Copies of this chain bind each other. A is one copy, B any other.
Amino acid sequence: MKDLKNYIEANKDRFLEELFSLIRIPSISSQEEHKEDMVRCANRWKELILAAGADKCEVMPTEGNPVVYAEKIIDSTLPTVLVYGHYDVMPVDPEELWKTKPFEPVVKDGKIWARGADDDKGQSFMHAKAFEYMVKTNQLPCNVKFMLEGEEEIGSGSLYGFCEKNKQMLKADIILVSDTGMIATDIPSITTGLRGLSYLEVEVTGPNKDLHSGIFGGAVANPINILCQMIASLTNEKNEIAIPHFYDDVLVLSAEERALMAKAPFNLEEYKKSLDIDEVHGEEGYSTIERTGIRPTLDVCGIWGGYTGEGSKTVLPSKANAKISMRLVPNQDSQKISALFQKHFESIAPASVKVKVTPCHGGEAYVSPIDMPAYKAAEKAYETTFGKRPIPTRSGGSIPIISGFERILGIKSILMGFGLGEDAIHSPNENYKLEHFFKGIETIPYFYKFYAELMK
């Protein structure tokens, strides 16, 4: 593979232009108005993956957004790698905080700036280009399948059924995913754990219409005050989650395991500085890395109620709403947690209000064993291109479908993420380092090479 670097160098601009053609399509899966953009984005992927060397590619309908499926089968005795990624992106609001337009990618300061630059258009497209290199230079050592979905950011609702229906087509030895991050540019890492997720929406209704806060205030329950009280009561003074039985299934790590985790490089002062905070904040008795890696959380992702416009309006509103996300750890069951939440939240509502809880989406946590051939192949690939052995880490994020793959297809995943914490995924000014994009394209072919060797 000594021509790999040259191949990337010679095709750099084209690679970026092709990626930008994907980014320019505003494929926001959570917003109904972008329904057609989802199909456009899937079709553009099809063109690009066929051009990269796939034998066949289909945009396959699901109950929701289509799945792009492609393959190149060279020899049934060789191992098969199934590349998974997603072409949908997060909403862009608050749009006024973006320094460039979210769907007009710009290269500046060595980074691509756009929604989806990292998550997951930039990362998943590295696989198309690594694949192109192996095909065009006749160095492909495995069969390859691609599966790109359009609902990852809203919980992969249709992909579970798609997998059930297409088990045969999706048969593979390993699922290869770039949708996570690494510790730092000079500290490669492989994600060996993902948190699960329960996401719910709650609505508190007080009076049947907005009231004058003077005439009724003090005598009628204010749904915002009540919602705040209810949310506040969901955590205790140790910042533990105060929902009964919430921690029942959480696996407790041994002192040795925690000591090992503590060895991962982490600079608390730099972390605080990068976020402009004076103090971190989380569950008592755990470090920052543990709080995001091995402990569950409860975050309000959105809240609204009453008058939120300019100036002041003295209103006692009828309703208040919140969106609440709980990140779960291995062995916690997302549906069970959603049910516990719902039951508890309903039970703590005072008689003066009505409460509605709507579970939105969820998924299970995932743990990747570090002794499987794919992990070892990935480790060697990073060593080759970064000159350093990667560190296994647990991410605080969730890719619920990963545990779904294991359950439905019986296939493990290897998470070779090249993003950085500073990439602002899900936030305004999402970006992806050019260096990481190209380093990813360079590292992936080595994974295939070592994986084929280890699977012989």
Contact = CB atoms under 8 A, between A and B. Distances in A.
B427 A299 contact: no
Contacts of A197: 214, 314
Interface stretch (A42-50, A70-78, A225-233): A225-233
A282 B216 CA distance: 10
Interface in A396-424: 396-398, 421, 424
Interface string A208-224: 11111111111111101
Contact of A276 (B208, B213, B428): B208
A293 to B, nearest CB: 9
A154 interface: yes
Interface stretch (A90-98, A101-109, A375-383): A90-98
Interface string A347-370: 000111100000011000000000
Given A209-B427, A210-B427, A301 B312 contact: yes
B360 A297 contact: no
Given A91-B307, A93-B307, A195-B214, A222 B299 contact: yes
Contacts of A303: 224, 227-228, 303-306, 308, 320
A395 B309 contact: no
Interface string A256-279: 000000000000000000011111
A225 B219 CA distance: 26
Contact of A30 (B195, B209, B309): B309
A225 B235 contact: yes
A32 interface: yes
B213 A315 contact: no
Given A278-B351, A311-B30, A314-B426, A421 B299 contact: no
A425 interface: yes
B97 A310 contact: no
A278 B327 CA distance: 35
Interface in A141-179: 153-155
A338 interface: no
A312 B360 contact: yes
A214 B220 CA distance: 37
Q: How many copies of the chain does the oligomer comprise? A: 2
B210 A426 contact: yes
Nearest to A429: B209
A422 to B, nearest CB: 10
B395 A291 contact: no
Nearest to A297: B218
B278 A312 contact: no
A31 interface: yes
A203 to B, nearest CB: 12
Contact of A302 (B227, B305, B396): B305
Interface of A: 29-32, 90-91, 93-94, 97, 153-155, 181, 195, 197, 199, 201, 206-222, 224-229, 231-233, 235, 275-283, 288-289, 291-292, 295-317, 320-323, 325, 327, 350-353, 360-361, 395-398, 421, 424-429
17 contacts: A30-B310, A91-B307, A94-B210, A209-B275, A209-B424, A210-B426, A215-B397, A218-B292, A218-B295, A219-B291, A222-B299, A224-B322, A228-B228, A228-B231, A302-B317, A303-B303, A315-B426
Given A232-B233, A281-B352, 11 more contacts: A30-B310, A30-B312, A31-B309, A32-B310, A209-B428, A218-B282, A219-B281, A225-B300, A277-B352, A300-B305, A313-B323
Interchain residue pairs A-B with the least CB separation, the first 9: A30-B311, A214-B397, A218-B297, A232-B232, A221-B281, A281-B352, A302-B306, A208-B276, A224-B300
